[in-house]
């Protein structure tokens, strides 16, 4: 049996593809990955071979970015790079029996260009955006090609909608990216000894791409500085930031100093009575412990919603997490995601964001409203993201395709 090739375009897509690949490897299936944008680090971290030499891009690839982001992509040569990755796919296609495309039209196009039987996890599109999915050309046409053997959506509403539009089966099997934050680790220490046991935790998730993540962290630090000292003391609020390695201590110290914060020790930013704990490689732990997630990221917000956590957005200057991106994310993820109105970075916008932090945490502390709110958030997560187990379900569906000789018969190649 020939190996399976995972084809993905974006950090969140790489993560989902890597989790599915890991499940296939556990079942003895040989796999490889071809990330179309970025280095594909999630694959490497799980031991999945990555084809070719990879590179990073400040926007994360050809996708939902600002005009400035699209210009940056062209200037950085991202378009030519992606074309090169598609040519690499064509050259190596004879080594694989099935392509699993994870992402949007770019991944679907890559699967079709391979000339191989292809399964599609259409993670980048949802009917929750507008009530009915409007696929841009040529995505709808590609999904109707005979080489597409199976289509999986990111939520049940999209599965029903898309199945009607395409007149073919579309299934919702779950979102693999939820699995990585849902699996409880009994050996993980959720709170250090000096944590306030009764306090709530506010998680800061500035994103993964520099310099945008650093700028967005700066906005978050300004919001924290606007929280009233007496309210903070009553709440016993614990502040934690989950950071990528590129956002290192030197950058953090420089950023903090410009905003009145100082780096204390190896992992703390301090400003008067405020203390922000810095965490590298602790994303799952910090997210699971959070009562509220202050977020300027894509996949992380979806994972938070899947766990039933309220999310407060801080729209930045981009190139990815712009006001337009944030608004689309709220339509996708539903009423559990909040954002202050107003231009990014302005004093009134930051002040309103600080007020929302207080309001959202006070609601959770309320003995009458809190439990009902948690039930509502859990229902939103189930509707928009689904239950854990998506990576195993998707791997099982792939193995069913591999066991069906007719499914692996090569269609006419483009």
- HEC states along 92-154? HHHHCCEEEEECCHHHHHHHHHHCCCEEEEECCCCCCCCCCCCCCCCHHHHHCCCCEEEEEEC
pLDDT at position 192: 37
* Distance from C-alpha of 194 to C-alpha of 387, rounded to nearest angstrom: 34
Query: In the predicted model, what is the mean pLDDT of the chain?
Result: 89
Does 412 score more than 80 pLDDT?
no
**Would strands 98-102 and 4-8 be described as parallel, antiparallel, or unpaired?**
parallel
* Distance from C-alpha of 138 to C-alpha of 156, rounded to nearest angstrom: 23
Does 140 score more than 70 pLDDT?
yes
Closest alpha carbon to 111 in 132, 76, 131, 139 = 139
What is the arithmetic mean of pLDDT over 200-221? 94
pLDDT at position 318: 82
* Distance from C-alpha of 159 to C-alpha of 157, rounded to nearest angstrom: 5
Does 77 score more than 80 pLDDT?
no
pLDDT at position 320: 84
* Distance from C-alpha of 140 to C-alpha of 24, rounded to nearest angstrom: 28
Tell the burial category of 329 from Cβ atoms under 10 Å away from its Cβ (0-12, 13-18, 19+): buried
Query: Is residue 191 very low, low, confident or very high in pLDDT (cuts 50, 70, 90)?
Result: very low
């Amino acid at each position: 049996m020939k190996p399976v090739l995972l084809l993905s375009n974006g950090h969140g897509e790489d993560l989902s593809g890597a989790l599915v690949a890991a499940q296939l490897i556990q079942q003895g299936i040989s796999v490889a990955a071809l990330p179309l944008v970025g280095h594909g680090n999630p694959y490497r971290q799980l031991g999945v071979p990555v084809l070719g030499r990879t590179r990073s891009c400040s926007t994360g690839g050809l996708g939902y970015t600002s005009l400035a982001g699209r210009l940056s992509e062209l200037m950085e040569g991202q378009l030519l790079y992606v074309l090169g990755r598609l040519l690499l796919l064509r050259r190596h296609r004879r080594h694989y029996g099935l392509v699993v495309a994870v992402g949007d039209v770019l991944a679907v196009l890559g699967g079709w260009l391979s000339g191989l039987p292809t399964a599609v996890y259409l993670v980048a599109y949802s009917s929750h955006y507008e009530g009915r999915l409007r696929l841009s050309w040529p995505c709808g046409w590609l999904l109707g090609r005979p080489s597409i053997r199976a289509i999986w959506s990111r939520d049940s509403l999209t599965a029903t909608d898309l199945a009607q539009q395409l007149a073919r089966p579309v299934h919702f099997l779950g979102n693999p990216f939820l699995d990585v934050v849902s699996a409880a680790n009994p050996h993980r220490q959720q709170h250090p000894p000096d944590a306030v046991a009764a306090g709530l935790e506010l998680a800061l998730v500035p994103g993964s791409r520099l310099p945008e993540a650093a700028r967005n962290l700066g906005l978050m630090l300004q919001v924290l500085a606007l929280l009233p000292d007496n309210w903070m003391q009553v709440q016993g609020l614990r502040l934690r930031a989950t950071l990528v390695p590129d956002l290192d201590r030197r950058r953090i110290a420089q950023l903090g100093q410009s905003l009145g914060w100082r780096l204390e020790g190896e992992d703390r930013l301090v400003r008067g009575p405020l203390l922000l704990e810095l965490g590298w490689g602790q994303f799952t732990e910090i997210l699971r412990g959070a009562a509220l997630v202050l977020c300027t990221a894509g996949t992380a917000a979806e994972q938070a919603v899947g766990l039933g956590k309220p999310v407060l957005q801080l729209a930045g200057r981009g190139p990815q997490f712009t006001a337009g991106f944030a608004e689309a994310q709220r339509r996708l993820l539903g009423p559990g995601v909040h954002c202050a109105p107003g231009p990014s970075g302005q004093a009134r916008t930051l002040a309103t964001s600080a007020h929302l932090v207080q309001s959202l945490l006070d609601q959770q502390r309320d003995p009458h409203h809190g439990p009902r709110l948690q039930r509502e958030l859990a229902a939103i997560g189930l509707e928009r993201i689904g239950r854990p187990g998506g990576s195993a379900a998707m791997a099982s569906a792939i193995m069913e395709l591999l066991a069906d000789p007719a499914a692996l018969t090569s269609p006419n190649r483009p």
